[in-house]
Amino acid sequence: MSRRPLVREVPPTSWYFRHPRYLRYMSREITSIFVGAYCLLLVVGLQRLASGPTAWEGFLLGLRSADSIVFHLLALAAAVYHATTWFNATQKAMPIQIGEDFVPGNVISGAHYVVWVVLSFAILFLVGVF
């Protein structure tokens, strides 16, 4: 008697709708598309800056459009979601052991949030907002 391998039917688009954990995982992965698109926008901005003042002014004018503002808000929301889910996962992915005891997970995640806030304020200070 020969045995056939078990082949489970997995629909290509709906497997992550079956469990909330999978849906959160996929939504986090989708946020990386917005982060990547924003990185490409920055590269285009650098290219326009290198091309001269006329190209740079055209780029800045394009950033003032309604579509650009909506994209920036979506990219910001995606980046914040991506960062918070990553910070919350670090306590599981990077347990820190000191002697025989492990550092509590909330301390690890909290340290990431504190550094995030400090760096954000430092950047805002350097830009001249404060």
- Domain spanning 10-90, CATH architecture: Up-down Bundle (1.20)
Given a contact cutoff of 8 angstroms between Cβ atoms, the answer to whether 108 and 94 are in contact is: yes
pLDDT, tens only, 46-90 = 999 999 999 999 999 999 999 999 999 999 999 999 999 999 999
For residues 120 and 123, give the distance between their C-alpha atoms in angstroms, rounded to a whole number.
5
Q: Where in the chain is the domain with CATH 1.20.1300.10?
A: 10-90
Query: What are the φ and ψ backbone dihedral angles of 47, each rounded to 5 degrees?
Result: -65, -45
Given a contact cutoff of 8 angstroms between Cβ atoms, the answer to whether 46 and 55 are in contact is: no
The HSE-up count of residue 71 (CA atoms within 13 Å, CB side) is 16
pTM of the predicted model over 0.85 = no
Which among 33, 26, 24 has a CA at the least distance from the CA of 75? 33
